[in-house]
């Protein structure tokens, strides 16, 4: 099946989430913004799709030469080729682009063979328990503005069926942030209302120092948390070795650190984390995420997948022991997460009343793409 066409369409939609000056999402008045869809076509008439933008110049110069005319099943060869091309081009050919290409190729393979991606990978399960993953704290009245507000939202999430809860607490530029004591107060308030048996996690400010992180870890041990992630800049692996050595609380990471499977291997080797972390968007696609899952399994470690979406869900459903939960969110009292994105006919991560997210049985990634919506709202294509 030869690749005959590679294109990107960019379209508008109305978003109810805005980004603060540090890039964290919060509820916001409706605003028009854009999304992109990559399409890879083949000589057999089958196409694969993935959402995410690739600039026209990068598509022409770096991506197309590796794809056009090639057998679309050679995903590993294409991924390795893109990875090598990143040397000297990392500023434009980043891992998000590798993710889009790789996910579109997996979608294409599934559509061509009439199977969902998780079955191509080697299925292990059809559903995964979710945890409610909150947005970062804010200063919106009735939002996530106080420890009590987190507690009230956690109660709502438990009623909705979530079996576990992760707080993203306050980060600059929210007034008063960062503040480890306030983070602990929010964690304690949630523990109080959900009771002792609900698994809980914390993802605080990502640039605390060693002392603040140790303080947080010790307090979370008292509250019987399941893990803490990214309390410090992940580029300092030594800081994580220092922290993990002193805590019984599992540290989960690295999440956003660059370096794909190589960085995860180094963290495992140096005991910098107790639980391995990575998602399709952090690592450069399904292909490297599977490598990291196998790496974690081989070291007898769990791997918690970062972020939601169809591609992460398919990998989770093909992983054996390493992955406990699907990260569902980011959630907020003012945001209706259970309404599909405007460009999809259905949710890509539907959750039942018992807190299980079910993977699609449709071929490929199984996203029900509303192509009419995309055409109606098209801005540009290349």
Binding site for ligand LLH (CB under 6 A): 24-25, 133, 136, 168, 203, 255, 306-307, 327
CA distances to 81, 130, 217 from 249, rounded to whole Å, are 39, 21, 6
CB of 275 to Mg ion, least distance (A): 12
CB of 171 to ligand LLH, least distance (A): 6
Q: In whole angstroms, give the CA distance from residue 175 to residue 143.
A: 15
- Which tokens is 153 given? 């939202």
| 183 lies in the site for Mg ion, by CB under 5 A | no
Closest Cα partner for 204 from 148, 141, 251? 251
Residue with tokens 């057998």: 71
Which one of ligand LLH, Mg ion, none interacts with residue 24, CB within 5 to 8 A by kind?
ligand LLH
CB of 89 to ligand LLH, least distance (A): 25
CB of 228 to Mg ion, least distance (A): 10
CB of 252 to Mg ion, least distance (A): 8
Which one of Mg ion, ligand LLH, none interacts with residue 304, CB within 5 to 8 A by kind?
none
CB of 106 to ligand LLH, least distance (A): 21
Q: In whole angstroms, give the CA distance from residue 345 to residue 362.
A: 13
What residues contact residue 17 under an 8 Å CB cut-off, 6+ apart?
Answer: 25, 26, 27, 28, 335
8 Å CB contact between 152 and 160: no
Residues 198-227, interacting with Mg ion (CB under 5 A): 203
Which one of Mg ion, ligand LLH, none interacts with residue 3, CB within 5 to 8 A by kind?
none
Closest Cα partner for 34 from 59, 58, 55, 62? 55
Residues 131-150, interacting with Mg ion (CB under 5 A): none
Residue 333: how many CB atoms within 10 A of its CB? 17
Q: Which residue number, 322 or 363, has a Cβ lying nearer to ligand LLH? A: 322
CB of 25 to ligand LLH, least distance (A): 6
Q: Which residue number, 86 or 171, has a Cβ lying nearer to ligand LLH? A: 171
Residues 242-271, interacting with Mg ion (CB under 5 A): 255
SS3 of 35-102:
EEEEEEEECCCCEEEEECCCCHHHHHHHHHHHHCCCECCCHHHHHHHHHHHCCCCCCCCCHHHHHHHH
Q: Which residue number, 203 or 348, has a Cβ lying nearer to ligand LLH? A: 203
Residue nearest to ligand LLH according to CB distances in the complex: 24
Which one of Mg ion, ligand LLH, none interacts with residue 39, CB within 5 to 8 A by kind?
none
The rounded Cα 78 to chain-centroid distance in angstroms is 23
| 62 lies in the site for Mg ion, by CB under 5 A | no
Which one of Mg ion, ligand LLH, none interacts with residue 276, CB within 5 to 8 A by kind?
none
Q: Which residue number, 288 or 308, has a Cβ lying nearer to Mg ion? A: 308
Binding site for Mg ion (CB under 5 A): 203, 229, 255
């Amino acid at each position: 099946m030869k690749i005959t066409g590679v294109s990107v369409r960019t379209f508008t939609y109305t978003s109810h989430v805005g980004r603060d000056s540090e890039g964290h999402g919060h509820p916001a008045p409706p605003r028009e913004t854009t999304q992109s869809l990559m399409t890879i076509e083949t000589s057999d008439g089958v196409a694969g799709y993935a959402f995410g933008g690739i600039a026209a110049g990068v598509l022409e110069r770096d991506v197309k030469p590796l794809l056009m005319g090639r057998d679309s099943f050679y995903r590993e060869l294409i991924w390795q080729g893109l990875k090598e091309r990143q040397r000297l081009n990392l500023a434009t050919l980043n891992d998000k682009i590798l993710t889009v290409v790789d996910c579109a190729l997996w979608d294409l393979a599934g559509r061509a063979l009439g199977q969902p991606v998780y079955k191509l990978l080697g299925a292990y399960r059809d559903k995964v328990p979710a945890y409610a993953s909150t947005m970062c704290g804010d200063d919106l009245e009735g939002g996530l503005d106080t420890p009590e507000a987190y507690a009230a939202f956690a109660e709502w999430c438990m009623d909705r069926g979530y079996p576990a809860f992760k707080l993203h607490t306050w980060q600059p530029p929210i007034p008063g942030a960062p503040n480890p004591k306030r983070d602990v107060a929010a964690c304690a308030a949630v523990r109080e209302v959900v009771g002792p048996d609900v698994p809980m996690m914390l993802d605080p400010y990502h640039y605390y120092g060693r002392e603040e992180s140790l303080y947080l870890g010790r307090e979370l041990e008292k509250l019987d948390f399941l893990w803490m992630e990214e309390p410090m800049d992940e580029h300092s692996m030594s800081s994580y070795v220092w922290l993990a050595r002193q805590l019984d609380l599992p540290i989960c990471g690295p999440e956003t650190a660059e370096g794909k499977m190589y960085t995860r291997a180094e963290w495992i080797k140096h005991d910098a984390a107790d639980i391995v972390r990575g998602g399709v968007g952090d690592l450069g696609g399904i292909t490297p995420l599977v490598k990291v899952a196998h790496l974690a399994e081989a070291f007898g470690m769990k791997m918690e997948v970062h972020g939601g979406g169809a591609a992460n869900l398919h990998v989770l459903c093909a992983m054996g022991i390493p992955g406990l939960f699907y990260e569902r969110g980011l959630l907020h009292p003012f945001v209706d997460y259970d309404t599909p994105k405007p460009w999809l006919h259905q949710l890509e991560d539907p959750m039942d009343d018992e807190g299980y997210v079910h993977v699609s049985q449709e071929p490929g990634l199984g996203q029900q793409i509303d192509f009419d919506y995309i055409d109606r709202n098209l801005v540009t294509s290349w």
